[in-house]
């Protein structure tokens, strides 16, 4: 553009000089001939063109400089040639100047107006673009929330369908790892009711189940347990609320940020849900808010599972002794007989009756009798092994299922139970008392292939023990 203006400027100067030369040369031919007027008129038209070129080359200042020079030149020629009509060319030059100036100003004004409109449109465009960007961000956030709420709805449905505590724990730990991103480790603690301390229940890593050495939590978990509030730690190295030196060296893990939320039910903390990452600044307040919602859902599900377990226990356990009831014993016996038949193992049944229990009740009262029943129930419960079962059959009678034990082993076990019952001391009315028990034993499939027959045979053996003088073990 600059080179073009230089070329136009040189052209305007050269053209003006050439036109001036020819016009002055024409003035020498005096008296002026008609042909000379024609040449001068042509040169004046050329000057108009040169003026326009000067405007393009030198802008408005150049325009008026060339107009003035052309006017002076024209005035000089008019005086020399005594040609009046040439003077009319001078107003024409100025008219061209004024026209160009007005045109340019109007164009400048129009251009400014256009520029202002363009700026306004550009500003409006930028505002709309920013608004669109914000709306897009809001839309993305809403989409993410909808996805999260859908996942929470599915989690609620899954938790509602499970009444097993282990099932609830697995559902919660699996879903929290998926719902909260950037989780290297997800941990669930529940509060032990008796000890009132945290107990580790589940751990999940990115690849699946994991393990940690800290089974009762660290300073962060204890803070949540005490404060009953959610916790967000952006960088464990920079958070001066906690002293990491309080964590034993063998319990330390490689994590830099974490979020944790309490599981609260009936205004009590019943557990803690925790998620941690190896990267600092991994979590935001939205993540903590989501974890809190999951923890609230988990708290309800855990309490429901515990309540269902208590109801289930009340339905199948005797209220006084804590042993299983008669109905559950019958169901379990049928199941165990099927199992031992499949694996070709024996099963023995012991039936125990407290000797002269009616006379004991009449002498010391029913409260004393209840104490005896409870103590014997506790003794039986502590004696049975894993897979065995102790139940209250009715009144002062008890039964024991010995899974996988033959007649000889069952007889030895029965003798141990009999001696335990005999060794118990009961201080009533400042008097030391004792009770004894008679036990009958029958074995499947050695004695019978029927569960009902097994009970009848064990009961018959018990009757034989009573008949022989009580406080003894008899076999079917």
d(CA 368, CA 425): 12
Q: Give catalytic status of residue 313 as yes or no.
A: no
Strands (E), 159-237: 185-192, 197-205, 208-209, 231-233
d(CA 3, CA 114): 28
Q: 3-class SS at 203?
A: strand
d(CA 285, CA 269): 21
How would you classify the pairing of strands 437-444 and 473-475? parallel
Strands (E), 140-267: 185-192, 197-205, 208-209, 231-233, 257-265
Strands (E), 22-160: none
d(CA 450, CA 462): 18
Residue ranges in 271-356 assigned as alpha helix (H): 285-316, 326-343
Catalytic residue among 396, 397, 446, 452: 396
List, in sequence order, every residue forming a beta bridge with 191; answer none if it has no partner: 198
Q: 3-class SS at 98?
A: helix
Give catalytic residue positions: 396
């Amino acid at each position: 553009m600059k080179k073009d203006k230089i070329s136009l400027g040189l052209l305007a100067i050269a053209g003006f000089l050439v036109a001036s030369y020819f016009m002055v040369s024409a003035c020498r031919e005096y008296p002026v001939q008609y042909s000379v007027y024609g040449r001068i008129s042509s040169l004046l038209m050329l000057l108009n063109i040169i003026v326009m070129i000067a405007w393009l080359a030198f802008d408005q200042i150049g325009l008026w400089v060339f107009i003035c020079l052309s006017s002076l030149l024209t005035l000089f020629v008019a005086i020399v040639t005594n040609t009046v009509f040439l003077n009319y060319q001078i107003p024409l030059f100025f008219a061209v100047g004024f026209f160009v100036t007005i045109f340019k100003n109007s164009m400048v004004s129009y251009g400014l107006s256009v520029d202002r409109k363009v700026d306004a449109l550009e500003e409006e465009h930028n505002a709309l673009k920013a608004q669109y960007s914000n709306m897009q961000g809001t839309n993305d956030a809403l989409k993410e929330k909808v996805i999260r709420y859908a996942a929470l709805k599915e989690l609620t449905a899954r938790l509602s369908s499970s009444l097993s505590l282990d099932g609830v724990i697995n559902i919660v730990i699996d879903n929290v790892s998926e719902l909260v991103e950037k989780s290297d480790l997800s941990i669930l603690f529940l509060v032990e009711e008796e000890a009132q301390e945290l107990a580790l229940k589940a751990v999940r890593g990115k690849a699946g189940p994991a393990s940690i050495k800290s089974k009762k939590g660290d300073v962060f978990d204890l803070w949540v347990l005490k404060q009953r509030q959610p916790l967000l730690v952006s960088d464990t190295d920079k958070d001066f609320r906690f002293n990491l030196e309080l964590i034993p060296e063998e319990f330390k893990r490689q994590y830099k940020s974490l979020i944790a939320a309490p599981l609260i039910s009936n205004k009590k903390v019943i557990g803690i849900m925790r998620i941690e990452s190896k990267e600092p600044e991994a979590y935001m307040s939205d993540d903590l808010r989501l974890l809190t919602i999951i923890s609230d859902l988990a708290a309800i599900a855990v309490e429901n599972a515990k309540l269902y377990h208590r109801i289930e226990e009340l339905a199948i356990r005797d209220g006084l002794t804590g042993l299983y009831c008669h109905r559950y014993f019958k169901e379990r016996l049928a199941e165990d007989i099927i199992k031992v038949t499949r694996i070709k193992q024996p099963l023995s049944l012991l039936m125990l009756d407290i000797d002269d229990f009616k006379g004991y009740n009449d002498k010391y009262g029913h409260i004393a009798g209840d104490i005896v029943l409870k103590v014997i129930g506790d003794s039986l419960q502590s004696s049975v092994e894993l897979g065995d079962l102790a139940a209250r059959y009715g009144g002062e009678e008890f039964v024991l299922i010995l899974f996988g034990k033959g007649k000889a082993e069952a007889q030895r076990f029965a003798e141990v139970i009999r001696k335990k019952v005999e060794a118990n001391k009961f201080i009533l009315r400042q008097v030391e008392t004792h009770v004894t028990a008679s036990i009958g034993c029958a074995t499947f499939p050695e004695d019978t292939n029927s569960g009902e027959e097994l009970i009848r045979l064990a009961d018959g053996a018990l009757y034989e023990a009573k008949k022989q003088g009580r406080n003894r073990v008899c076999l079917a």
